[in-house]
Chains A and B, each alone.
Chain A
Amino acid sequence: MRRPARDGAGDRSDGACAAAGIQKAGRLATYQELAHFLAKVERRAYKQAVFAVRDDHLALDIVQDAMLKLTEKYCARPVDELPLLFQRILQNTILDFYRRQKVRSTWTQAISSLLGKGSDEDADPLETLEVAEGSKLSGSLSGSPAEQAEQSQLIAFIEKALEKLPARQRQAFLLRYWEELDVAEAAKIMGCSVGSVKTHCSRATHALSVMLGKQGIKP
């Protein structure tokens, strides 16, 4: 089932104005509207963070930081700017995590090399998931417990596959298809050209198709 259209998304021209940082004399978000908006996006934001950092607790911290920043600094923005603003904040918060992780890994690299890697680090998490032969991506949660279990497995497989994608490809794919942003908006958030977003999306979709195909899942 397709998710209903985003309430606060507004039309595309409004989104483009927000992306360009243009101060627009729109109606400012009230407390209720902000609360409604956050309730609507928090789970997807959390999942995005999980795909990026692969840690539930860190992902929760990232989402909380993003919500705090939006509320503290940008709550007096027009309602229709909130989706893009929040995505921008979320992506920057995830980026900050990567930067901190890079600094940390620089210091711990020597220790890690001395201790050696664990034998299970090379294991492919995708290979641990069993998806029934011939199962399809389309489907719903309704059905027998066996069907529900199968779909849960499929969801887990797709989420693992997304985690395995390169960060930029995953970011482009999620912004473009999950958050339903247009290419220009995604490019603004990612800080790259429209062409790069298209390339990242295309590669991400192709990589996911290959991964699903290897498991016998028909795209």
Chain B
Amino acid sequence: MNQPADELARRIVEQLDAGVDQMDPATRERLVIARERALGRYRERPAPVLGMAWAGNAIARVSAHRFYSARNLIAVTALVLGLAGLAIWNSFGPSNELADIDAGLLTDELPINAYLDKGFDSWLKRAPR
């Protein structure tokens, strides 16, 4: 152990302690208020914190009790169902049929449904050559 360094540290700490003792009354008062506010949240049995006990522990944060509450579970389920419905609508909806006809027109391979459409037939007759 480095004795001179430890001795210097000890003397510095003495001055720091003296500085704490000299702290102005207004700051002391604010600290007392802050402490009382914190102690106001004291409960005999706080919510269990899973994982390691240290603050800032990621596991503890993620596994907080509220994460598993029923309300959040319902919201997440609704979101997943909504997204699934949207995906199905996009795959089998009417927009897909229109896209097929457009593609047929562009490639000159019209599906039979296009020729059965009377509107399309009249459009062909009226279209200028």
Q: Which residues of A contact B (CB under 8 A)?
A: 1-3, 18, 21, 23, 31, 34-35, 38-39, 42-44, 46-47, 56, 60, 63-64, 67-77, 81, 85, 88-89, 92-93, 95, 137-138, 140-141, 151-152, 154-156, 158-159, 162, 173, 176-178, 201-202, 205-206, 208-209, 219
| CB of B14 closer than 8 Å to a CB of A | yes
Which residue in A43, A151, A173 is a CB contact (below 8 Å) of B9?
A173
Assess the B31–A219 pair: CB atoms within 8 A: no
- Chain B binding surface, main DSSP class: helix
B118 to chain A, nearest CB (A): 62
Assess the B19–A159 pair: CB atoms within 8 A: yes
Assess the B20–A43 pair: CB atoms within 8 A: yes
**Given contacts A43-B20, A46-B27, are A70 and B38 in contact (CB under 8 A)?**
yes
The number of residue pairs between A and B whose CB atoms lie closer than 8 Å in the complex comes to 144
Interface size class of B (residues with CB under 8 A): 35 or more
B25 to chain A, nearest CB (A): 12
Assess the B49–A155 pair: CB atoms within 8 A: no
Select from chain A the residue with minimum beta-carbon distance to B16.
A178
A29 to chain B, nearest CB (A): 9
Given contacts A60-B27, A177-B13, 11 further A-B contacts (CB under 8 A): A2-B14, A44-B20, A64-B37, A70-B38, A85-B53, A92-B56, A138-B11, A141-B21, A151-B15, A205-B2, A219-B8
| CB of B30 closer than 8 Å to a CB of A | yes
- Contact flags (1/0) for B6-42 with A, using CB distance below 8 Å? 0111111111111111110001101100110111011
Residues in A neighbouring B13, C-beta threshold 8 A: 3, 177-178
Residues in A neighbouring B18, C-beta threshold 8 A: 140-141, 151, 155
Residues in B neighbouring A67, C-beta threshold 8 A: 34-35, 37-38
| CB of B43 closer than 8 Å to a CB of A | yes
Complex: A74 Cα to B52 Cα, angstroms: 11
Selected A-B contacts with CB under 8 Å, 7 pairs: A67-B37, A67-B38, A76-B45, A137-B12, A141-B22, A155-B16, A219-B11
Residues in A neighbouring B39, C-beta threshold 8 A: 31, 34-35, 38, 71
Residues in A neighbouring B42, C-beta threshold 8 A: 31, 34, 71, 75
Assess the B55–A177 pair: CB atoms within 8 A: no
